[in-house]
Amino acid sequence: MHPDVEKILLNEEQIKERVAQLGRQISQDYQGESILMVGILKGAMIFLADLVRHINVPTFFDFMAVSSYGAGTVSSGAVRILKDLEKSIHGRHVIIVEDIVDTGLTLQYLVENMKARGPASLKICTLLDKPSRRKVAVPVDYNGFSIPDEFVVGYGLDYNERYRNLPYIAVLKPEIYQI
């Protein structure tokens, strides 16, 4: 275990199993279609990479980067597009792939933004959900795990850009957040 980690919330085995289940469910739901997976950088990259290897219908990727948090651990509510989609999503079956839904503000913005581009359908897939922190309702279609209100890192999720490479989802020691 990494020395900065206080506890592991979800281990590699648990994540692997759940991600495979989600992939199988998505494959069933989209039989006969092709999917455009829109990964929200950078947090969702590892989840997306693992997820798509369990999907057996034609799958395309695009990415968007938005900022909502800055350096801290509290949502500002302000969403800025840092990198936009490469191609039109008009007429495509789009799944937004997120690392975590917290207040829901980021996804609310993304859903409105993408709906305006005229996809054939739009669904949301998130690895993690913190339902107790929700400020706005967002329709989550695929959720890996619901977790308590704790700031987590690993498997793509960062604290000040660190810890994304941890293979599990963990909570850091309190002293790490104070420096």
Q: How far apart are CA 59 and CA 35, in angstroms?
A: 5
Q: How far apart are CA 103 and CA 43, in angstroms?
A: 16
Q: How far apart are CA 123 and CA 41, in angstroms?
A: 17
Site mask for ligand 5GP (CB under 6 A), range 150-179, x = bound: -xxx---xxx--------------------
Instruction: Check if 62 is active-site.
Output: no
Q: How far apart are CA 43 and CA 62, in angstroms?
A: 14
Interacting residues with Mg ion between 95 and 114 (CB under 5 A): 99
* Residue 61 binds to ligand 5GP (criterion: CB under 6 A): no
Q: How far apart are CA 170 and CA 128, in angstroms?
A: 12
Q: Taking Cα atoms as reference points, which of 102, 143, 103 lies closest to residue 123? A: 143
Using the contact rule CB under 6 A, the part of the chain among 29-37, 86-94, 98-106, 111-119 near ligand 5GP is 98-106
| CB of 58 or CB of 135, closer to Mg ion | 135
* Residue ranges in contact with ligand 5GP by CB under 6 A: 43, 68-69, 75, 98-106, 151-153, 157-159
* Residue ranges in contact with Mg ion by CB under 5 A: 40, 43, 99, 158
